[in-house]
Amino acid sequence: MRIGTALGIAAATGAAVAGGTWLWRNQGDLMFSRPLNEWTFTHMDRVLPTETVTRPALSRPLPSARTPLGAAGIRYEFDGRTRSLAELHERTNTTAFLVAHRGEVIHESYPGRFASPTTRFQLFSLTKSVTSMLIGIALERGEISGLEAQVTDYLPQLVGSGYDGVTLVNLLNMASGVGAVEDWTVPDAPIRRFETAVSTGGSVLDVIRSTPKLREPGTAFNYSTIDTHVIGWLLEAATGRSLAEYATEQLWHPMGAESDAFYFLTRGKPRTALGGGSLNATIRDLARVGIIMAAGGRVGDTQLVPEAWVQRSRGSEHSYLQVGSLTDGGGASHYGYSNQWWTLGGEQRGFTGLGVHGQFLWVDPDSETVIVKTSAWNTPDDDARDRETYVALNAIVRAVAERE
């Protein structure tokens, strides 16, 4: 999920001073393009209303390992050449990068212009994976009746819409059957109308209700930010808490976050966070999120996220969600999908959260390795940069395993 229109509105005064019709019409796109996007992705609280996910009074230490990774020596093969991590950062516009092993930081760097350990980065659709964790917690607590819960049982405002007859598990697997492939290049696509409604104060509900059901639920993968927005609404309805409140109480405090995070909110009232794309957090706290998943859902001796939920996030039994089966629904051939995470397949069954413009939360539970990479790609999607990052992060996991 990206929001470009809001930035155009926020920059209106500057555009008027600068003059020029072209600048006015294109300022939103400019703010999401290099080099301006490095500022945009670290200052979302300047352009949209927000709700804070508060840190606890005492944070849980995120220690640095005695022996660092030795990142300078890591190499990966891509496009017929052997490359270094420094080349990865330059070629894929890395803004922040952290590697943790068994809960300890073994490498941390901040190549971005506005990046630091206290910078809160816009995570885009990586938010979806955090929303999944919150759903797993809510199910365990009995606040949601089960995976087969009907969307309309919690959101009666969607009765008669494409989401009537869709279950929670359909949403988690991006298999609601609602809408076509998410395509930002189509001017009147539901995702573009959704973005406009979020950022200009229009009716998000009207956009969602008008998105048609095109397939039988539970039969095919179709990547959809709107699906995850509905998940967020369902969670809020079931718990009586906003996403920020629930994330504070059930994740940020128990995991011992060291910094506040925030969700940006829709401009229209009642304002709501986007479960599919509005979380902003430091990479150190995002590493804590990954460490929980790498440890089977545990924080110390506490089972925070159900272990079965973590296992479910590592891969699906459905053939249409396997690695290589997602291309017709908007996924890359080297990923599968399960539970709002992109799966990697293979014996290790690693998985990653992804966000447009190059955001990664890479989790390898077998070695308990977690990699966080924030980026500022010039375009929302970039297959070459994604594939190169995929190869490089796999090489890091292997290098960490070889240290033992």
In this model, does residue 186 exceed pLDDT 90? no
Using alpha carbons, list the distances in angstroms from residue 16 to 11, 46, 210: 9, 19, 35
Tell me which of 11-25, 99-113, 293-307 is least confident: 11-25
In this model, does residue 4 exceed pLDDT 70? no
**Encoded tokens for 35:** 């080099």
Q: What tens digit of pLDDT does each residue of 238-264 get?
A: 999 999 999 999 999 999 999 999 999
* Model confidence band, residue 185 (pLDDT cutoffs 50, 70, 90): confident
DSSP conformation letters of 203-220: -HHHHHHHSPB-S-TTSS
- Identify the pLDDT of residue 20: 53
- Residue by residue, what is the 3-state secondary structure of 4-67? CHHHHHHCHHHHHHHCCHHHHHHHHHHHCCCCCHHHHCCCHHHCCCEEEECCCCCCCCCCECCC
- Identify the pLDDT of residue 17: 43
In this model, does residue 6 exceed pLDDT 60? no
- Identify the pLDDT of residue 402: 85
Q: What is the mean pLDDT of the chain?
A: 92
Q: What tens digit of pLDDT does each residue of 299-353 get?
A: 999 999 999 999 999 999 999 999 999 999 999 999 999 999 999 998 889 999 9
8-state DSSP, 379: S
Question: Cβ(84)–Cβ(396) under 8 Å?
Answer: no
Question: Cβ(114)–Cβ(39) under 8 Å?
Answer: yes
Instruction: Verify cis geometry, omega within 30 degrees of 0, for the bond prior to 111.
Output: no
In this model, does residue 16 exceed pLDDT 60? no
- Identify the pLDDT of residue 12: 42
Q: What tens digit of pLDDT does each residue of 104-141 get?
A: 999 999 999 999 999 999 999 999 999 999 999 999 99
What SS3 state is found at 174?
A: coil
- Identify the pLDDT of residue 26: 55
In this model, does residue 14 exceed pLDDT 70? no
List, in order of start, the domains of the chain with CATH numbers: 5-402 (3.40.710.10)
Torsion 139-142-143-148 (CA) sign: positive
In this model, does residue 82 exceed pLDDT 70? yes
